[in-house]
Amino acid sequence: MSFEATPSMRARLVLKGISKRYPAVLANDQVDLTVYPGEIHALLGENGAGKSTLMKIVYGVVKPDLGTIHWEGELATIASPAQARKLGIGMVFQHFSLFETLTVAENIALALDGHAKPESLGPRIIEVSNRYGLPIDPNRLVHSMSVGERQRVEIVRCLLQDPRLLIMDEPTSVLTPQAVLKLFETLRKLAAEGCSILYISHKLDEIRALCDNATVLRGGRVTGTARPAEETNDSLARMMIGSPLVECRHEAHEAGPALLEVAGLSLATIDPFGTALSDIQLSVRAGEIVGIAGISGNGQKELLAALSGETTLEDANAIRLEGKAVGTLNAAQRRALGLGFVPEERLGRGAVPPMSLSNNALLTGARRGMVARGLVQRTATRTFSQSVIAQFDVRCGGTQAAASSLSGGNLQKYIVGRETLLSPKVLIVAQPTWGVDVGASMLIRQALIDLRDRGIAVLVISEELDELFMISDRIAVLSEGRLSPTRHLSETNIEEIGLWMSGKFTETQSSEASLVLST
């Protein structure tokens, strides 16, 4: 039975007239929001609508310019996250707030306001993470973890605080479908026990399946409320972006010669928590998109490093670009040969946070007319950045806006747009629409399809199966450092790929080999 507030029920959180202005944007404009005990309340809106700013106000990270906050019937001023936690408010951020050189247990100990010692937290971390289907090793160093594994740490850290209001900002962005279902079970249980949950997500199917009520923001203002279960994806999208949802156009296309070839790629890992790659065989042809699915932590990070040139190999022929052996070449040398790369981590790897968007263009575009005789061509960088902003609808304060000033989804659009407009021969993309709203997701996916239609070879590594089935021509699975057979989409389905994600494709390979031998 869905949640229904009664006239006698006292609200847990009431926001009245909340406003917050930054130099380039009015992030929140007279926002009202009410959340009750036991309610799972969605906050919807496109990238830059003001959702994360509003939640940071509730959590004490940001101070509002105007408006009031009432917590359990009392006027409250939440001046810091520590004060928010004392009230019983916990938050899982979209961009992680973890110290990479510390262990999981050390990071969690810092977030708990008592004086818990990391070594004493280990058993509790294991128990809670396993109970909620988000297993993590308390002794593991965060820098060795994939994005999906770091997301688990953020969620478990918050659950250990026993919150009365749990704020979740894109919590399933990098979780597998199975882990999402387990998380939903956890959230429903928490709600049944009286915990209030504020849930931010761009995945409309999730919102409709999980949330009792929804408040919609557009341009920093509340534009409506809804009961998601009674809406369709299209009606919710229309409320969020003001127009119907546009589907991707993906038509049959004749692929050309292989532009990216991987042959017998095996790579040991010096990281005790890393995943060694074993005999990876892969080809991506001109004019096709190959998708690689898999649960986070199964070798995606290592494969991306090897393909991008961040990790060089002893065998030059293990990776070939347009027939040229490049395994021993570094990232810059491979880029000079036409390789483009979008990493899964936006801040720090895809973009330098304090640098302007114009200067961030130089990170990968210096060879494309933005530097001449050792001098930066400022007009070229600005013009290029303006093109990215216009074509990918990046909501920002202009080409001189710092990367850190953009919402996560808008920064992702800028990074994907930057790599796309550089016209690579081969483009490798990791988690292309992580944390991106439904409208922008379709824009990015269509941009990848358009690249493919222009004859570019595109490799997409994603944990969203729906996304891979929407844009890919062929699909494979990475599990425990091994790559499954590659299937044309007409030859497989989500159920088979989901089974392969658990590593069971070896049985399929064995049966296929037996069939070949018998014939």
Write out pLDDT tens, residues 385-417.
999 999 998 988 899 999 998 887 889 999 999
More confident residue, 307 or 47: 307
More confident residue, 110 or 324: 324
Tokens 């575009």 — which residue?
A: 365
Residues in the chain: 519
More confident residue, 353 or 506: 353
> What residues contact residue 213 under an 8 Å CB cut-off, 6+ apart?
3, 39, 41, 42, 225, 226, 227, 228
- Is 0.75 surpassed by the pTM of this model? no
Please, what is the end-to-end C-alpha distance for the chain in angstroms?
Answer: 56
pLDDT at 512: 44
What domains can you pick out in the chain, each with its CATH number? Answer: 13-241 (3.40.50.300), 258-338+424-518 (3.40.50.300), 350-409 (no CATH)
What confidence tens digit (pLDDT) does each residue in 486-501 have? 999 989 988 888 788 8
When mean pLDDT is compared across 8-22, 139-153, 320-334, 411-425, the lowest value belongs to 139-153
- Separation of alpha carbons 23 and 383, rounded Å: 23
- What backbone phi and psi angles, to 5 degrees, belong to 416? -65, -40
What confidence tens digit (pLDDT) does each residue in 243-300 have? 777 777 888 788 999 999 999 999 998 877 789 999 999 999 999 999 999 887 889 9
* Average pLDDT of span 50-54: 91
DSSP letter assigned to residue 329: -
Q: Is the per-residue pLDDT at 59 higher than 90?
A: yes
* Average pLDDT of span 125-144: 88
What confidence tens digit (pLDDT) does each residue in 140-194 have? 999 888 767 887 898 899 888 889 999 998 887 666 666 678 788 888 988 998 9
Query: Helix H segments across 249-391?
Result: 300-308, 331-336, 357-365, 378-391
Query: Are the C-beta atoms of residues 14 and 34 closer than 8 Å to each other?
Result: yes
Taking all residues of the chain, what is their mean pLDDT, rounded to a whole number? 88
Query: Are the C-beta atoms of residues 409 and 440 closer than 8 Å to each other?
Result: yes
